[in-house]
A and B are shown apart, each in its own frame.
Chain A
Amino acid sequence: MTLWWIGDGLLFIIVAPIAVYLLDGVLRAAKSIVPSVDSIARTAAAGSKDLDAVPLLLTTQSQVEQTVAGVAAYGASLDVIVDDAEAGQ
């Protein structure tokens, strides 16, 4: 009979509080993850929206090609009309 009471005491005083403490810790950790995940989702959505201008890179690429072609033509013309530097410079 005494052992029964000792067992009940251990159950109430040690096992139950430890179980509740551990479970409460798991629940707190799970709750703390939710805001972080929401924040990551908002950031990822914003990052995706920032990349909406990426297709404009194709326009930039085309304009760079045209500009470099114009510079090349201009340089070729200058090469014809301007004398080269004297040798030794």
Chain B
Amino acid sequence: MSAPAVAMLIAVVAIVLALVYYLVSVILELRKISAGLDKVIGSVVEIIEKSAPVNDVVNNINGQLDAGVDLLEGLLVKKAGLTDSMGLIEGLYPGAAAAGLRNFPESKDVDPPRIGEVYTKGTLTLARLGREAPIATASPNGPAIRNPAYATTASRKLYPGGRPLEPEPLPRSPVIGTDSPVQYEQRDDIGKPRKRMPAQG
């Protein structure tokens, strides 16, 4: 065999060996990828199975909440009127009146009155309880301002120097007598014999 033929044979064998090495390596990597994809498929199937009922449940919840919103909006407008309703909403959640009521599109055009001009002070106080009320721990404006368990700040403000043991002294009684600053007209019968009732016949 000639030298060039031997050289070519060596070259071909080298190329074939390189092909074998690289292709086997690629096969091993593809097997790893296949195993990894099997895990992915398992997890994805779990996700699909777990999320299957979500759509129906969430639609049901949304339907229930829609009914609640319809009910409350309708009741509010029925009882307070559309204009006052928007004023009340604006008073409770400033800026919310601009969005209007969902079932009353014309509410967006209402100029909301200032709540204090519509309702009495007592109603306003009740309406503004919101975050200040211990019960409003789940207020949309944030957590309750008062601590439901230890709300003593307001009561402590009544006696900032401590609760007094005795009441504060009241003004003295009016001065009476001849030198009193206020003189009353003297009665005529003073110093005279006491009047007697006529005897019954």
Q: Are B29 and A44 in contact (CB under 8 A)?
A: no
Q: Are A34 and B81 in contact (CB under 8 A)?
A: no
Q: Contacts of B26 on A, CB cut-off 8 Å?
A: 23, 26-27, 30
In the complex, residue of chain B having the shortest beta-carbon distance to the beta carbon of A24: B22
Interface SS of B by simple majority: helix
- A32, B174: Cα distance in complex, Å: 103
**Interface status of B135 (Cβ within 8 A of chain A):** no
In the complex, residue of chain B having the shortest beta-carbon distance to the beta carbon of A31: B29
Question: Which one, B22, B40, B83, contacts A26 given CB within 8 A?
Answer: B22
Q: Are B61 and A47 in contact (CB under 8 A)?
A: no
**Interface status of B71 (Cβ within 8 A of chain A):** yes
- Tally chain B residues at the interface, Cβ within 8 Å: 50
In the complex, residue of chain B having the shortest beta-carbon distance to the beta carbon of A58: B57
For B25, B29, B67, B77, the residue with the greatest tally of chain A CB atoms inside 10 Å of its CB is: B29
- A49, B33: Cα distance in complex, Å: 23
| Stretch of B42-50, B98-106, B180-188 that contacts chain A | B42-50
Minimal beta-carbon separation of A80 from chain B (angstroms): 11
| Stretch of B2-10, B139-147, B164-172 that contacts chain A | B2-10
Q: Are A48 and B50 in contact (CB under 8 A)?
A: yes
- A64, B37: Cα distance in complex, Å: 40
Q: Contacts of A33 on B, CB cut-off 8 Å?
A: 29, 33
Question: Which one, B25, B32, B47, B71, contacts A75 given CB within 8 A?
Answer: B71
In the complex, residue of chain B having the shortest beta-carbon distance to the beta carbon of A79: B75
Q: Contacts of B83 on A, CB cut-off 8 Å?
A: 89
| Stretch of B12-20, B124-132, B154-162 that contacts chain A | B12-20
- A38, B193: Cα distance in complex, Å: 122
Interface hits, A61-89 → B, CB 8 Å: 61, 64-65, 67-68, 71-72, 75, 78-79, 82-86, 89
Q: Are B33 and A86 in contact (CB under 8 A)?
A: no
For A16, A67, A75, A83, the residue with the greatest tally of chain B CB atoms inside 10 Å of its CB is: A75
